[in-house]
Structure 1
Amino acid sequence: MSLKNRTDTINWKQVLKLSNLMQTIIGCALAVLAMRGFMIPNKFLDGGITGISILLHEVFHVNISLLVLVLNLPFIYLGYKRIGKTFAVQTILAVLVLAAGLLFIDINPITTDRLLIAIFGGLLIGTGVGLVLRSGGVIDGAEVLAVFTKRKTGFSNSEIILLFNALIFAAAAFQFGLETAMYSLITYFTATRATDYVVDGIEQYTAINIISAQQEAVKDYLVNELGKGITVYKGERGYLPGSFEIKTDCEIIVTIVTRLEVHQIQNAIMGIDNKAFVYVQSIKEAAGGILKAKAHGHS
């Protein structure tokens, strides 16, 4: 099946998968708790559609659940056009659950401490957004906007989202005062970190690149002692200042590990060859190979 056919067909098995539905419901429940119990009563904003919804709710007194639903509709359409029908259906489901929660659930303000509101409101909504992302949808259309405008503007996703949110917080500063806008920034950055942690998890993958004179010992350690998969590139080393013309063939050993394992492996490699050149790269996602095998075996 081609990529186009996959995006043109709704994968109902994925949409109705129990784990995805549970993550969507729990994620939306946490977002409702954050918005009703922390953010809305104190005029604190998050970024994206959530922030715009709270801003318009406070200024024009429009029902917050209606705003969340209506403002997300154009982005659901963009997601349908650019990402696929399955994503659009899962996003519609998540937005409907969130809107229903905001409509029917009323929570008294949990605390009046502005710093606690900013931190815990951000943690809750960020965790909620992350759970919905893991299920395959979103509850905020700003991410879809970034994907849609990236090719047209030449800016990266993060730059587009940053500009989008800067406008929201500027409006918050004008409407609610600079102090509330600054606390809202804390909410936003806390939410962003919480979302990243939920999506990437404790097992966020990292690439370790190793160039060593003791390459066979390094490979033996990684494969036979740690149970890792490795890839070996053929390269050249040398080209140093003062001896540019001197170069030698070498092997560049690459392995994918979790961030919890990086320090252990770096120390072990230095024990094998204290002159080894090691550099670490963060990677957004990894799949296949024996990534999961190591999680159940060597740790």
Structure 2
Amino acid sequence: MQKLSRLLLIFTASIVLGFAFNVFLLPHEILSGGVTGLAMIFGLMTPVNSGIWLIILNIPILIIGWMKLGKTFIGNSVFSVAVTSISMLYIPVVKVTEDALLSSVFGGVIVGAAVGVIIRYYGSTGGFDVIGLLLTMKKDIPLGGLVFGLNSLVVFVSGFIFSWELAMYTMASIYITGLVVDRIHTRHIKLSLMVVTNQGDKVKKELLDNLYRGVTVVDGEGAYSAAKLTVLYTVISRYELAFVRPLIKNIDPNAFVSISETMEVMGNFRKDNNYQKSPLPEISPISEP
């Protein structure tokens, strides 16, 4: 059921993505970034539909992703690219407004939301998304900002082919897309979790059983009550917070929990998604902090 739900969300987001391209961006020759933007350029300059170009240009990138990111991720990505391409073939290219600026803003928001959902549920739209995810595995940086930097090349290309006014609209659109992606895809955000509880062994066991991460255990004492307590410390991703919070609450509703955003983590810090104990497919596990 989890796999089915994940595929359904990717399917829906991919159709929304194709809708945003054909209704908001392409009618004004406002491009998406990266490989999708190049596919749009080729689609506008040749008789071949942009959806077909999208598949052709993504083939080599998806092969690299297959080797580096795993079969499940690339399978979801191929599924997303196929659904987006097919939806672009059947959704008519029509203008909902004559204002190119409005189209770039709303198109950027819709594209960013759709891409963010697809990436959050362990897929991608191919192209620079795959390259960006490969780079974020090496260093924790915002995916949206990274992809925006990579996509800037398309802006300059579109400026030479079409007009610099449209290039600026494209820049605005992909910038907004990057902002929205970073609001949804928060894998790069790490949180420091400290739990003070009198059920230390139970909480520790649940964390170790459900997450691939280490936990530091410190014996503590309440200053006022003089009660013996256990202090547990670990680092989690932003995705995992929704899973960890009820886990702790179910064991010890009275536990004191402190959560703060961590600027940087050094050491043996697992960034890949290949090893998962948690039932949440989008969780990014790490090793001991």
Same-fold call, TM cutoff 0.5: yes
CA contact (8 A) 1:78 1:145 kept: no
Task: For 2:73 and 2:190, locate their aligned partners in 1 and report how far apart those are by CA, in whole Å.
Answer: 27
Gaps of 5+ in 1: 1-12, 211-217, 224-228, 234-250, 259-278, 290-299
1:88 aligns with 2:69: no
Q: How does 1:132-147 map to 2 (within 5 A)?
A: 132-146=118-132
Larger of the two Rg values belongs to structure? 1
Is the CA contact (8 Å cut-off) linking 2:147 and 2:178 kept in structure 1? Answer: no
Q: Which of the numbers 185, 191, 194 marks the counterpart of 1:207?
A: 191
Q: Which of residues 166, 171, 177 is equivalent to 1:185? A: 171
CA distance in 2, matches of 1:191, 1:106: 22
1:28 pairs with 2:14? yes
- Structure with greater helix share of residues: 1
Q: How many residues align?
A: 226
Q: 1:149 Cα shift?
A: 7.5
Q: Which amino acid aligns with 2:191?
A: A
2:103 match: 117
Percent of aligned pairs with the same residue?
Answer: 25
| 1:6 alignment partner in structure 2 | none
> Given the alignment, which residue of 131, 135, 153 partners 1:167?
153
Could you tell me which amino acid in structure 1 is paired with residue 95 of structure 2? Answer: P
Structure 2: distance between partners of 1:280 and 1:20? 28
SS of equivalent residue, structure 2 residue 77: helix
Do 2:74 and 2:123's aligned partners in 1 also have CA atoms closer than 8 Å? yes
Partner of 2:182: 196
State yes or no: 1:281 paired with 2:262: yes
1:58 counterpart residue number? 44
Q: Distance in 2 between matches of 1:148 and 1:282?
A: 21
Secondary structure of the structure 2 residue equivalent to 1:207: strand
Q: How far off its partner does 1:63 sit?
A: 0.9
Structural RMSD (CA): 4.2
Q: Which amino acid aligns with 1:35?
A: F
Contact conserved, 1:130 with 1:198, CA < 8 A, in 2? Answer: yes
Query: What is the one-letter code of the residue matched to 2:40?
Result: I
Structure 2 gap ranges (5+): 201-206, 208-214, 219-230, 239-259, 265-270, 279-289
CA contact (8 A) 1:78 1:148 kept: no
**Deviation of residue 84 (structure 1)?**
1.3
Residue 83 of structure 2, aligned match among 97, 102, 105:
97
> Which amino acid counterpart does residue 60 of structure 2 have in structure 1?
P
Equivalent residue for 2:53, pick from 47, 58, 67: 67
Residue type of the alignment partner of 1:207 = L
User: Helix, strand or coil: the match of 1:87?
Assistant: helix
